Protein backbone atom coordinates (compact mmCIF):
# COMPACT_ATOMS: atom_id res chain seq x y z
CA UNK A 1 0.00 0.00 0.00
CA UNK A 2 1.48 3.34 -1.04
CA UNK A 3 1.65 6.25 1.36
CA UNK A 4 -0.39 9.21 0.21
CA UNK A 5 2.05 12.10 -0.35
CA UNK A 6 -0.43 14.84 0.57
CA UNK A 7 -1.67 13.28 3.78
CA UNK A 8 -0.43 14.57 7.08
CA UNK A 9 -1.09 13.39 10.63
CA UNK A 10 -0.74 15.75 13.60
CA UNK A 11 -0.56 14.39 17.12
CA UNK A 12 -0.81 16.65 20.18
CA UNK A 13 0.14 14.74 23.33
CA UNK A 14 -1.22 16.88 26.11
CA UNK A 15 -1.15 16.25 29.85
CA UNK A 16 -4.84 15.22 29.83
CA UNK A 17 -5.79 14.61 26.25
CA UNK A 18 -4.05 13.18 23.20
CA UNK A 19 -5.37 14.52 19.88
CA UNK A 20 -4.97 13.06 16.41
CA UNK A 21 -5.78 15.08 13.31
CA UNK A 22 -5.37 13.56 9.83
CA UNK A 23 -5.68 15.92 6.88
CA UNK A 24 -5.19 15.88 3.16
CA UNK A 25 -3.50 18.90 1.63
CA UNK A 26 -4.79 19.59 -1.86
CA UNK A 27 -2.83 22.13 -3.90
CA UNK A 28 -5.99 23.55 -5.49
CA UNK A 29 -7.68 24.12 -2.12
CA UNK A 30 -6.40 26.52 0.49
CA UNK A 31 -8.24 24.65 3.24
CA UNK A 32 -6.98 21.15 4.05
CA UNK A 33 -9.58 18.36 4.02
CA UNK A 34 -10.02 16.80 7.47
CA UNK A 35 -10.11 13.01 7.18
CA UNK A 36 -10.08 12.19 10.89
CA UNK A 37 -10.22 14.17 14.10
CA UNK A 38 -10.14 12.19 17.31
CA UNK A 39 -9.11 12.59 20.94
CA UNK A 40 -8.44 10.28 23.86
CA UNK A 41 -8.38 11.16 27.55
CA UNK A 42 -5.00 9.66 28.41
CA UNK A 43 -4.42 11.56 31.67
CA UNK A 44 -0.65 11.40 31.29
CA UNK A 45 -0.23 13.69 34.30
CA UNK A 46 -2.52 11.81 36.68
CA UNK A 47 -0.86 10.66 39.89
CA UNK A 48 2.63 11.81 38.93
CA UNK A 49 2.82 15.27 37.42
CA UNK A 50 3.38 17.01 40.74
CA UNK A 51 6.26 14.61 41.43
CA UNK A 52 7.82 15.06 38.00
CA UNK A 53 7.10 11.57 36.73
CA UNK A 54 4.71 9.66 34.53
CA UNK A 55 3.15 6.80 36.51
CA UNK A 56 3.36 3.24 35.07
CA UNK A 57 -0.41 3.29 34.42
CA UNK A 58 -0.30 6.61 32.54
CA UNK A 59 2.81 5.44 30.64
CA UNK A 60 0.95 2.33 29.49
CA UNK A 61 -2.12 4.39 28.46
CA UNK A 62 0.12 6.70 26.41
CA UNK A 63 1.80 3.80 24.57
CA UNK A 64 -1.53 2.11 23.94
CA UNK A 65 -3.04 5.34 22.55
CA UNK A 66 -0.07 6.01 20.24
CA UNK A 67 -0.30 2.46 18.91
CA UNK A 68 -4.00 3.01 18.18
CA UNK A 69 -3.15 6.33 16.49
CA UNK A 70 -0.50 4.55 14.42
CA UNK A 71 -3.13 2.07 13.18
CA UNK A 72 -5.32 4.97 12.03
CA UNK A 73 -2.32 6.61 10.37
CA UNK A 74 -1.55 3.40 8.45
CA UNK A 75 -5.21 2.93 7.59
CA UNK A 76 -5.26 6.41 6.01
CA UNK A 77 -1.94 5.79 4.22
CA UNK A 78 -0.44 8.95 5.72
CA UNK A 79 3.04 9.84 4.56
CA UNK A 80 4.10 12.37 7.18
CA UNK A 81 3.49 12.46 10.93
CA UNK A 82 4.21 15.36 13.28
CA UNK A 83 3.85 14.65 17.00
CA UNK A 84 4.35 17.16 19.80
CA UNK A 85 4.31 16.64 23.56
CA UNK A 86 3.92 19.35 26.18
CA UNK A 87 3.96 19.94 29.92
CA UNK A 88 3.73 16.44 31.40
CA UNK A 89 6.48 15.16 29.10
CA UNK A 90 8.64 18.28 29.51
CA UNK A 91 8.88 17.83 33.24
CA UNK A 92 8.86 14.07 33.73
CA UNK A 93 12.11 12.30 34.56
CA UNK A 94 10.91 9.30 32.52
CA UNK A 95 9.63 11.44 29.61
CA UNK A 96 12.66 10.54 27.42
CA UNK A 97 12.03 6.81 28.05
CA UNK A 98 8.46 7.19 26.83
CA UNK A 99 9.58 9.12 23.73
CA UNK A 100 12.06 6.34 22.93
CA UNK A 101 9.56 3.55 23.50
CA UNK A 102 6.92 5.27 21.34
CA UNK A 103 9.47 5.45 18.52
CA UNK A 104 10.48 1.80 18.95
CA UNK A 105 6.90 0.58 18.85
CA UNK A 106 5.30 2.92 16.30
CA UNK A 107 8.07 4.70 14.41
CA UNK A 108 6.54 8.01 15.52
CA UNK A 109 9.09 10.64 16.54
CA UNK A 110 7.74 12.80 19.33
CA UNK A 111 9.01 16.35 19.67
CA UNK A 112 8.83 17.62 23.25
CA UNK A 113 8.27 21.36 22.88
CA UNK A 114 9.06 24.17 25.34
CA UNK A 115 6.29 26.38 26.77
CA UNK A 116 7.12 29.41 24.61
CA UNK A 117 6.82 27.35 21.41
CA UNK A 118 3.59 25.84 22.71
CA UNK A 119 2.19 29.35 23.28
CA UNK A 120 3.12 30.38 19.72
CA UNK A 121 1.42 27.37 18.16
CA UNK A 122 -1.70 27.88 20.29
CA UNK A 123 -1.85 31.50 19.12
CA UNK A 124 -1.57 30.34 15.50
CA UNK A 125 -4.38 27.84 16.08
CA UNK A 126 -6.71 30.34 17.76
CA UNK A 127 -6.16 32.78 14.87
CA UNK A 128 -7.62 30.16 12.52
CA UNK A 129 -10.85 30.20 14.56
CA UNK A 130 -11.22 33.73 15.93
CA UNK A 131 -10.77 36.94 13.91
CA UNK A 132 -8.59 38.98 16.30
CA UNK A 133 -8.38 42.04 14.05
CA UNK A 134 -5.91 44.76 15.00
CA UNK A 135 -6.67 45.02 18.73
CA UNK A 136 -4.79 42.95 21.33
CA UNK A 137 -6.70 40.08 22.94
CA UNK A 138 -5.71 37.89 25.87
CA UNK A 139 -5.51 34.28 24.68
CA UNK A 140 -5.54 31.55 27.31
CA UNK A 141 -5.13 27.81 26.92
CA UNK A 142 -5.73 25.72 30.04
CA UNK A 143 -3.97 22.39 29.75
CA UNK A 144 -3.53 19.67 32.31
CA UNK A 145 0.08 20.60 33.01
CA UNK A 146 0.56 24.17 31.86
CA UNK A 147 -1.48 27.25 31.05
CA UNK A 148 -0.39 29.47 28.17
CA UNK A 149 -1.21 33.16 28.10
CA UNK A 150 -0.62 35.15 24.92
CA UNK A 151 -1.41 38.79 24.19
CA UNK A 152 -1.85 39.05 20.44
CA UNK A 153 -3.82 40.45 17.53
CA UNK A 154 -4.27 38.89 14.08
CA UNK A 155 -0.67 39.55 13.06
CA UNK A 156 1.53 40.17 16.11
CA UNK A 157 2.30 38.47 19.39
CA UNK A 158 3.04 41.19 21.94
CA UNK A 159 3.72 38.95 24.92
CA UNK A 160 3.52 35.26 25.77
CA UNK A 161 4.28 33.01 28.72
CA UNK A 162 3.63 29.43 29.73
CA UNK A 163 2.94 28.82 33.42
CA UNK A 164 3.10 25.36 35.00
CA UNK A 165 -0.32 25.76 36.65
CA UNK A 166 -2.41 23.35 34.57
CA UNK A 167 -5.63 21.79 35.83
CA UNK A 168 -4.02 18.51 36.97
CA UNK A 169 -1.45 20.45 39.03
CA UNK A 170 -4.15 22.73 40.51
CA UNK A 171 -6.20 19.62 41.28
CA UNK A 172 -3.27 18.06 43.16
CA UNK A 173 -2.78 21.28 45.15
CA UNK A 174 -6.26 22.60 45.87
CA UNK A 175 -8.88 19.90 45.39
CA UNK A 176 -8.95 19.05 49.08
CA UNK A 177 -12.71 18.77 49.54
CA UNK A 178 -15.57 17.87 47.25
CA UNK A 179 -17.28 20.29 46.78
CA UNK A 180 -14.43 22.77 47.30
CA UNK A 181 -14.67 24.88 50.45
CA UNK A 182 -14.51 28.68 50.33
CA UNK A 183 -11.01 28.35 51.85
CA UNK A 184 -9.84 26.01 49.05
CA UNK A 185 -11.02 28.55 46.47
CA UNK A 186 -9.35 31.41 48.35
CA UNK A 187 -6.08 29.46 48.62
CA UNK A 188 -6.05 28.79 44.88
CA UNK A 189 -6.76 32.45 44.09
CA UNK A 190 -3.99 33.60 46.46
CA UNK A 191 -1.61 31.20 44.72
CA UNK A 192 -2.62 32.43 41.27
CA UNK A 193 -2.16 36.02 42.39
CA UNK A 194 1.37 35.09 43.42
CA UNK A 195 2.46 33.13 40.31
CA UNK A 196 0.67 35.21 37.67
CA UNK A 197 2.52 38.45 38.48
CA UNK A 198 4.11 38.67 35.00
CA UNK A 199 0.66 38.29 33.38
CA UNK A 200 -0.88 41.00 35.55
CA UNK A 201 1.91 43.39 34.51
CA UNK A 202 1.63 42.49 30.81
CA UNK A 203 -2.15 42.99 30.73
CA UNK A 204 -1.80 46.35 32.43
CA UNK A 205 0.75 47.35 29.78
CA UNK A 206 -0.89 46.01 26.58
CA UNK A 207 -4.54 46.39 27.67
CA UNK A 208 -6.13 43.49 25.75
CA UNK A 209 -9.81 44.04 24.97
CA UNK A 210 -11.21 40.56 25.57
CA UNK A 211 -10.54 36.99 26.60
CA UNK A 212 -10.23 34.11 24.15
CA UNK A 213 -9.98 30.65 25.72
CA UNK A 214 -8.90 27.34 24.20
CA UNK A 215 -8.82 23.66 25.15
CA UNK A 216 -10.71 21.28 27.42
CA UNK A 217 -12.31 23.46 30.08
CA UNK A 218 -13.51 26.06 27.56
CA UNK A 219 -14.90 23.29 25.30
CA UNK A 220 -16.80 21.88 28.27
CA UNK A 221 -18.12 25.33 29.30
CA UNK A 222 -19.47 25.65 25.74
CA UNK A 223 -21.07 22.21 26.05
CA UNK A 224 -22.66 23.09 29.42
CA UNK A 225 -23.99 26.37 27.99
CA UNK A 226 -25.41 24.61 24.91
CA UNK A 227 -27.09 21.96 27.10
CA UNK A 228 -28.63 24.71 29.24
CA UNK A 229 -30.00 26.41 26.14
CA UNK A 230 -31.24 23.09 24.74
CA UNK A 231 -28.91 23.33 21.73
CA UNK A 232 -27.33 20.28 20.11
CA UNK A 233 -23.52 20.60 19.99
CA UNK A 234 -22.44 17.34 18.41
CA UNK A 235 -18.90 16.03 18.68
CA UNK A 236 -17.29 18.89 16.73
CA UNK A 237 -18.15 22.30 18.17
CA UNK A 238 -18.04 25.36 15.88
CA UNK A 239 -14.65 27.13 15.56
CA UNK A 240 -15.72 29.81 18.04
CA UNK A 241 -18.37 29.82 20.78
CA UNK A 242 -19.43 32.96 22.64
CA UNK A 243 -19.75 32.51 26.39
CA UNK A 244 -21.17 35.51 28.21
CA UNK A 245 -19.93 36.43 31.66
CA UNK A 246 -23.39 35.57 33.00
CA UNK A 247 -23.28 32.14 31.34
CA UNK A 248 -19.82 31.42 32.73
CA UNK A 249 -20.95 32.30 36.26
CA UNK A 250 -24.06 30.13 35.93
CA UNK A 251 -21.81 27.17 35.11
CA UNK A 252 -19.25 28.11 37.77
CA UNK A 253 -21.79 28.37 40.61
CA UNK A 254 -23.31 25.07 39.55
CA UNK A 255 -19.91 23.33 39.45
CA UNK A 256 -18.74 24.84 42.75
CA UNK A 257 -21.87 23.71 44.55
CA UNK A 258 -21.91 20.12 43.36
CA UNK A 259 -20.16 16.85 44.17
CA UNK A 260 -18.21 14.73 41.69
CA UNK A 261 -21.23 12.52 40.95
CA UNK A 262 -23.53 15.50 40.47
CA UNK A 263 -21.04 17.13 38.07
CA UNK A 264 -20.68 13.88 36.18
CA UNK A 265 -24.44 13.81 35.64
CA UNK A 266 -24.49 17.27 34.01
CA UNK A 267 -25.28 17.18 30.29
CA UNK A 268 -22.07 18.05 28.46
CA UNK A 269 -19.66 16.79 31.16
CA UNK A 270 -16.93 14.21 30.54
CA UNK A 271 -15.60 11.95 33.34
CA UNK A 272 -12.01 13.18 32.99
CA UNK A 273 -13.11 16.80 33.26
CA UNK A 274 -15.51 16.45 36.20
CA UNK A 275 -13.01 17.49 38.91
CA UNK A 276 -10.47 19.44 36.86
CA UNK A 277 -13.10 21.83 35.57
CA UNK A 278 -13.71 23.14 39.09
CA UNK A 279 -10.12 24.23 39.75
CA UNK A 280 -9.87 25.47 36.14
CA UNK A 281 -12.98 27.63 36.59
CA UNK A 282 -11.44 29.18 39.72
CA UNK A 283 -8.61 30.24 37.39
CA UNK A 284 -11.00 31.64 34.75
CA UNK A 285 -12.91 33.52 37.48
CA UNK A 286 -9.60 34.98 38.68
CA UNK A 287 -8.84 36.22 35.13
CA UNK A 288 -12.36 37.63 34.51
CA UNK A 289 -12.37 39.46 37.87
CA UNK A 290 -8.79 40.73 37.60
CA UNK A 291 -9.26 42.20 34.13
CA UNK A 292 -13.03 42.85 34.04
CA UNK A 293 -13.60 41.03 30.75
CA UNK A 294 -17.30 40.87 29.83
CA UNK A 295 -17.29 37.63 27.84
CA UNK A 296 -15.20 34.70 26.70
CA UNK A 297 -14.79 33.57 23.13
CA UNK A 298 -14.00 29.85 23.24
CA UNK A 299 -11.84 28.68 20.34
CA UNK A 300 -12.23 25.07 19.20
CA UNK A 301 -8.76 25.33 17.67
CA UNK A 302 -5.49 25.23 19.56
CA UNK A 303 -2.02 23.72 19.26
CA UNK A 304 -2.50 21.14 16.50
CA UNK A 305 -4.39 23.56 14.25
CA UNK A 306 -1.58 26.06 14.81
CA UNK A 307 0.99 23.48 13.79
CA UNK A 308 -1.07 22.66 10.70
CA UNK A 309 -1.31 26.35 9.74
CA UNK A 310 2.44 26.71 10.18
CA UNK A 311 3.18 23.67 8.01
CA UNK A 312 0.83 24.87 5.27
CA UNK A 313 2.32 28.38 5.25
CA UNK A 314 5.84 26.99 4.79
CA UNK A 315 4.70 24.86 1.83
CA UNK A 316 2.68 27.34 -0.14
CA UNK A 317 4.47 28.89 -3.12
CA UNK A 318 5.64 32.28 -1.87
Per residue in 212-271, pLDDT (tens digit) is 999 889 999 999 999 888 887 777 778 999 999 999 999 999 999 999 999 999 988 888
Residue 1 banded pLDDT, cuts 50, 70, 90: low
Q: What are the structural domains, with CATH classification, of the chain?
A: 4-113 (3.30.420.40), 127-303 (3.30.420.150)
Question: Considering the entire predicted model, what is its pTM?
Answer: 0.94
Count the alpha carbons within 13 Å of 136 in the hemisphere toward its beta carbon. Answer: 17
Flag whether pLDDT at 316 surpasses 90.
no
pLDDT in tens, 92-111: 999 999 999 999 999 999 99
Flag whether pLDDT at 170 surpasses 60.
yes
33-41 vs 295-299, strand pairing mode: unpaired
Q: Both ends of the chain: CA-CA distance in Å?
A: 33
Confidence at residue 31, expressed as pLDDT on a 0 to 100 scale: 81
Confidence at residue 287, expressed as pLDDT on a 0 to 100 scale: 97
User: Rounded to the nearest 5°, which phi and psi values hold at 9?
Assistant: -115, 135
Q: Are 34 and 300 in contact (CB under 8 A)?
A: no
> Nearest 10 degrees: CA dihedral of 187, 188, 189, 190?
50
Q: What percentage of residues in the chain have a pLDDT greater than 90? A: 82
pLDDT in tens, 192-208: 999 999 999 999 999 99
Confidence at residue 232, expressed as pLDDT on a 0 to 100 scale: 77
Q: Are 255 and 275 in contact (CB under 8 A)?
A: no
Amino acid sequence: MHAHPNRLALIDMGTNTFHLLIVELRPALTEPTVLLRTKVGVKLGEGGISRGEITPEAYARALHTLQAFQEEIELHAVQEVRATATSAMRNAANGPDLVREIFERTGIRVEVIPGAREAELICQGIRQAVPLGDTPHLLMDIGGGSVEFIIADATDIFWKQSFEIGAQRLLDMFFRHDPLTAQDVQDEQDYLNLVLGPLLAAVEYYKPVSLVGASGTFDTLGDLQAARLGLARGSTPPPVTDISQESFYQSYELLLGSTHDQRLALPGMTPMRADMIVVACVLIDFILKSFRFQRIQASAYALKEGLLAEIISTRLPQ
